[in-house]
């Protein structure tokens, strides 16, 4: 079995919970309040800066030039690709650069990004990528599930969010992470796999807490 399949098996229940989460289902049926979405957008924007920093650590840790290119592509995809979804919404929500500059990350946001940064700083490239994988992959999964709901992707406000996470660019970017994790994971020992499962599950649980944080607007 591929490493990504082993990792997914272990978190399937947690991931199923994302689709039932009121924040996620509210994007799907358009019932989510703008107040909650606005809160989430600002927090997620801060989150993505740290997420890009984790990829940047991958550049520092790479030995092969191809791996440096891979990580630098991911830094670029995050800062200039995924974050464009957020910038589009910020313009529509009337969020100014001053407001973004003054937002403080919530305690859950900080806990999550600091965990990934800790793995990125202290462990190897495979662990770093696995700590990022549940973010990247679960958003594609959520985007695909919401895209199945008739009319959801055409919603005048939330449609662009769904379209962003099923876009060719986003899916290709996530696929490159999945392929690299599977390639680097080919020679893992049982003990390595157990450790990678712990990282993947921890990040999957952080994702659930991040949705709760957004729904409850908890700073
Ligand atoms: C919290 C969170 N997880 C994952 C993604 C997808 O990159 C995101 N934008 N935000």
Pocket test for ligand 1, best of 11, 14, 50, 51 (most atoms within 8 A of CB): 51
User: So what's the pLDDT on residue 73?
Assistant: 95
User: So what's the pLDDT on residue 98?
Assistant: 93
CA 82 to ligand 1 center in whole angstroms: 9
CA 210 to ligand 1 center in whole angstroms: 9
CATH of the domain at 148: 1.20.910.10
Could you give the number of structural domains in the chain?
1
User: So what's the pLDDT on residue 173?
Assistant: 93
Domain that holds residue 7: 3-216
CA 53/CA 31 separation, integer angstroms: 33
Dihedral class, residue 189 (left if φ above 0, else alpha if ψ from -120 to 50, else beta): beta
Q: Where are the beta strands (DSSP E) in 136-177?
A: none
Which regions of the chain are under pLDDT 70?
none
User: So what's the pLDDT on residue 19?
Assistant: 97
Atom of ligand 1 nearest to the CA of 44: 10
User: So what's the pLDDT on residue 21?
Assistant: 98
ipTM of the complex: 0.96
User: So what's the pLDDT on residue 76?
Assistant: 95
């Amino acid at each position: 079995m591929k490493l990504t399949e082993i990792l997914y098996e272990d978190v399937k229940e947690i991931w199923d919970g994302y689709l039932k989460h009121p924040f996620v289902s509210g994007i799907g049926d358009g019932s989510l309040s703008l107040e909650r979405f606005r809160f989430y957008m600002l927090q997620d924007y801060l989150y993505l800066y740290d997420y890009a920093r984790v990829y940047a650590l991958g550049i520092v840790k790479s030995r092969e030039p191809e791996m440096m290119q891979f990580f630098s592509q991911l830094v670029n995809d995050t800062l200039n690709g995924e974050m464009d979804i957020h910038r589009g919404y910020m313009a529509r929500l009337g969020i100014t650069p001053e407001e973004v500059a003054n937002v403080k990350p919530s305690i859950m946001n900080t806990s999550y990004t600091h965990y990934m940064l800790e793995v990125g700083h202290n462990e190897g490239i495979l662990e770093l990528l696995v700590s990022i994988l549940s973010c990247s992959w679960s958003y594609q999964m959520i985007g695909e599930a919401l895209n199945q709901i008739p009319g959801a992707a055409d919603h005048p406000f939330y449609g662009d969010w769904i379209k962003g996470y099923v876009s060719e660019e986003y899916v290709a970017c996530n696929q490159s992470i999945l392929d690299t994790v599977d390639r680097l994971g080919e020679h893992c020992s049982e003990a390595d796999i157990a450790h990678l499962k712990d990282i993947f599950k921890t990040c999957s649980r952080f994702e659930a807490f991040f949705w709760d944080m957004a729904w409850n607007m908890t700073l």
